[in-house]
Amino acid sequence: MFSLFYGLWKYVFAKDEFRVLILGVDRAGKTTLLEKLKSIYLKGEGLPPDRVVPTVGLNIGRIEDAKAKLVFWDLGGQVSLRTIWEKYYEEAHAIMYVIDAATASSFEDSKSALEKVIRHEHLRGAPLLIVANKQDLPGAIDEEELAKFLHKELDERPYTFQAVSAYDGRGIKSGIDWLVEQMEKSKRTETLQARAGVAGQI
């Protein structure tokens, strides 16, 4: 009887947990953004930008919003580290792809790295949030300009563009809200949950 009530309670109240992979080329601002996310959702726990160093391994951040628990995996974007990205694809519910919108010289590299990410079969159907970071800097291009630049690269998965600043936090909550909404209704989420259920029974 207890397990029946517990099961019902869990069904009604327990929050889903989603894994979001943060990708993008080096210096796009992924780790700074993750730290800002933590400081927004965990009330001051994130590192300030001057304590962030280039990523070599994996940074993990956990937050909880009103609807879901989110686990972020932040990987290094240097060319030699990008081969590691695909090891995380199969388990990710969604992708947050970060672009330094204020540095035009990085755009082509960002575009071709994104193209590879999108083409990978292990990410089929994963919702994609493309973040135009560093909006606090003069000359940063906005969502529309970035969308025009990347337009042809995108396939039929759910995707959107969001202008943000990892320094002042603008746009971050809207981006997370979109991601959660997409992951909740995503077919990929169903597939990952079914797979986890089967693994749990073995």
Is 77 marked as binding a ligand? yes
The answer to whether 20 contacts ligand GTP (rule: CB under 6 A) is no
Residue 143, contacted partner among ligand GTP, Mg ion, none, CB below 5-8 A by kind: none
Is 193 an active-site residue? no
Residue 137, contacted partner among Mg ion, ligand GTP, none, CB below 5-8 A by kind: ligand GTP
The answer to whether 166 contacts ligand GTP (rule: CB under 6 A) is yes
The answer to whether 28 contacts ligand GTP (rule: CB under 6 A) is yes
In angstroms, what is the minimal distance from the CB of 46 to ligand GTP?
11
46 vs 76, which CB is nearer to ligand GTP?
Answer: 76
> What are φ and ψ of residue 161, in 5° steps?
-110, 145
The answer to whether 171 contacts ligand GTP (rule: CB under 6 A) is no
Question: Catalytic residue positions?
Answer: 78
